[in-house]
A = this chain, B = another copy of it.
Amino acid sequence: MPTSNGEVLLHDRVANHVAALIEAGALRGGQRAPSVRKLSAQMKVSPATVVLGYSQLQARGLLEARPQSGHYVKTPPRAALAEPRATTAAAGSARVKLGDRVTGLYRSMRDPSIVPLGAACLSADLLPLTRLNQSAVVATRTSAGGGALYDPLPGNATLRTHIARRAVDHGASVRRDDVIVTSGAIEAIQLCLRAVAKPGDAVVVERPTYFGGLRLLEEIGLRAVEVPTHPAMGMDLDALESALVRHKAKACLTVPNFSNPLGTLMSDEAKAALVDIMSRRQVPLIESDVYGDLCHDENRPRSAKAFDRDGWVMSCSSFSKSLAPGYRVGWAIPGRFYDRVDELKFTYTGASAPLPQMTIADFLDSGGYDRHLRLLRRRISTQVSAGRDAIARHFPAGTRVSRPHGGFLLWVELPRGCVSAVQLQRRALARGISIAPGPIFAARDGFDNCFRLSCGYPWSDILDRAIATLGTLARGGPPSHGQTSVPGVQSS
């Protein structure tokens, strides 16, 4: 299992370099990979590091070792995996009815013996727990009241200053007092929706979109207007604009950076055009930017908020996907709807607990978050590649998979002849594996040939076997490896 020392990072770098050559077609199936000696000299790393990197690529199914000869690119290489198609959406608005299906999924997540390919959650191994615990102790000891006293809304001032500064770094114009701390991004999105829409109103969403957002629409009593979405480009903006007009939609809810489930990154031009449409129509844009920090390279994309001139963008995010899910620290930057969101937060749940906020503030003060992100980005990039490779090895020809440049989620589209996603989910769960089936990502029927696979865990044989089992089940066959569940995988 990877640890956080330098050797592993070099080894990841070697693997990613060669994987990129294969992906780009510079190395093709059957070709010999650079020799250990040559790559060692070229990348200025030790031969042992190259050997480790090549072992990883063997485990990922990209290379095979031929005794006395070297390493060769396997056939078919990963480039054979096509990306999912652009989605379409029926006209009209729909009441969402996902309650039972989503509840079943999240209750299955409570079982620690399940291989957690269904939950959009990072492994504990990827989080800086020791450093966070140190920050928690510092926060407890240095603050008046140690977090036991009410912290007046809208939340810890130091933390809000950090959040505002980081938003400025990503191109937005945000001050500390524009930020309201919430219980995760989900509360932020909930309050933003309630602030601008009332039961019966229509809200525009991408299709497919995060089931948590759809469940909020369902419980609040909002109608969903789905717009077609392209995996590489994002929401169809013409369809968005006509939906706003036709349905008098009260908001648009979107994930512009590494969307859930498609992994789409909207370009800056597309974000600017999106914000322009919303401002012109005077309809609030609610963005969730929880995956923005999880870009696979160092180019952290801008949020939609960066293009906001008139306060119509309500930006929501959290540290739950990138640092400390259990701290439940999220925030809203609600623009012109600040007062209303502040009032609703006070009414529905009161202020958020100061202790987790103070802990994250201390961690940010120390520069720990940026160091953590640099490491995390490389790791999830490797994990996502490994997940794609495993799908290429184990799933039937014609399977399509998203190719995200951030986040840790894959969207898988099964070819004709496979079992439905809901059947796959049920059969997988019986074998101790959770996935998130396609239909829960849509307000109306659809995506029953799709599922979302989380790559939030360091790559391991357990995960490879689980994906092999999924591949067999998808074909309608019995699993080739039997029971794949290994208790304790969640902490592995």
Residues of A within 8 A of B (CB): 99, 103, 106, 109-110, 121, 124, 127, 129, 132-133, 136-137, 140-141, 144-153, 183-184, 186-187, 190, 194, 199, 212, 215-216, 219, 221, 323-329, 343-344, 346-356, 359, 491
The minimal Cβ–Cβ distance linking A314 to chain B, given in whole angstroms, is: 17
The minimal Cβ–Cβ distance linking A454 to chain B, given in whole angstroms, is: 13
Is the CB–CB distance between B328 and A350 below 8 Å? yes
Q: Given A103-B346, A133-B148, A186-B350, output 6 extra A-B contacts at Cβ < 8 Å.
A: A99-B343, A132-B148, A184-B350, A190-B349, A215-B347, A328-B352
The minimal Cβ–Cβ distance linking A400 to chain B, given in whole angstroms, is: 30
* A109 to B152 Cα, complex, angstroms: 8
Give the chain B neighbours of A183 by CB distance below 8 A: 183, 349-350, 352-353
Contacts A343-B99, A344-B219, A348-B186: A327 and B148 contacting too (C-beta < 8 A)? yes
Give the chain B neighbours of A140 by CB distance below 8 A: 133, 136-137, 140
* A124 to B110 Cα, complex, angstroms: 37
The minimal Cβ–Cβ distance linking A366 to chain B, given in whole angstroms, is: 15
* A121 to B194 Cα, complex, angstroms: 28
* A106 to B137 Cα, complex, angstroms: 31
A-B contacts, 12 listed (Cβ < 8 Å): A106-B346, A124-B149, A129-B145, A136-B146, A149-B326, A187-B348, A199-B221, A212-B347, A219-B348, A328-B353, A353-B355, A355-B355
Give the chain B neighbours of A148 by CB distance below 8 A: 124, 127, 129, 132-133, 323-327
Give the chain B neighbours of A103 by CB distance below 8 A: 343, 346
* A194 to B137 Cα, complex, angstroms: 37
Is the CB–CB distance between B110 and A127 below 8 Å? no
Give the chain B neighbours of A325 by CB distance below 8 A: 148-150
Nearest 4 interchain pairs by C-beta: A148-B324, A133-B146, A110-B152, A328-B353
Give the chain B neighbours of A146 by CB distance below 8 A: 129, 132-133, 136
The minimal Cβ–Cβ distance linking A103 to chain B, given in whole angstroms, is: 5
Is the CB–CB distance between B144 and A491 below 8 Å? yes
Give the residue name and chain of the B residue nearest to A360 (CB). Answer: B148
The residue that A199 contacts in the complex, of B136, B199, B324, with Cβ under 8 A, is B199
* A442 to B489 Cα, complex, angstroms: 54
Is the CB–CB distance between B354 and A355 below 8 Å? no
Give the chain B neighbours of A212 by CB distance below 8 A: 347
* A124 to B144 Cα, complex, angstroms: 9
The minimal Cβ–Cβ distance linking A320 to chain B, given in whole angstroms, is: 8
Is the CB–CB distance between A145 and B353 below 8 Å? no
Give the chain B neighbours of A348 by CB distance below 8 A: 186-187, 190, 216, 219, 348
The residue that A349 contacts in the complex, of B145, B150, B184, B343, with Cβ under 8 A, is B184
Give the chain B neighbours of A141 by CB distance below 8 A: 133, 137
* A262 to B371 Cα, complex, angstroms: 54
Give the residue name and chain of the B residue nearest to A128 (CB). Answer: B148
* A170 to B212 Cα, complex, angstroms: 38
Give the chain B neighbours of A328 by CB distance below 8 A: 349-353
Give the residue name and chain of the B residue nearest to A218 (CB). Answer: B347
Q: Which of A99, A184, A329, A491 has the most CB of B within 10 A?
A: A184
Is the CB–CB distance between B145 and A124 below 8 Å? yes
Give the residue name and chain of the B residue nearest to A121 (CB). Answer: B150
Give the chain B neighbours of A186 by CB distance below 8 A: 347-350
Give the chain B neighbours of A355 by CB distance below 8 A: 136, 326-327, 353, 355-356, 359
Give the chain B neighbours of A329 by CB distance below 8 A: 353
Give the chain B neighbours of A350 by CB distance below 8 A: 183-184, 186-187, 328
* A12 to B186 Cα, complex, angstroms: 48
The minimal Cβ–Cβ distance linking A99 to chain B, given in whole angstroms, is: 7
Contacts A129-B145, A152-B110, A327-B355: A219 and B137 contacting too (C-beta < 8 A)? no
The minimal Cβ–Cβ distance linking A51 to chain B, given in whole angstroms, is: 33
* A491 to B150 Cα, complex, angstroms: 12
Give the chain B neighbours of A149 by CB distance below 8 A: 124, 127, 129, 324-326
Contacts A133-B140, A343-B99, A344-B219: A147 and B351 contacting too (C-beta < 8 A)? no
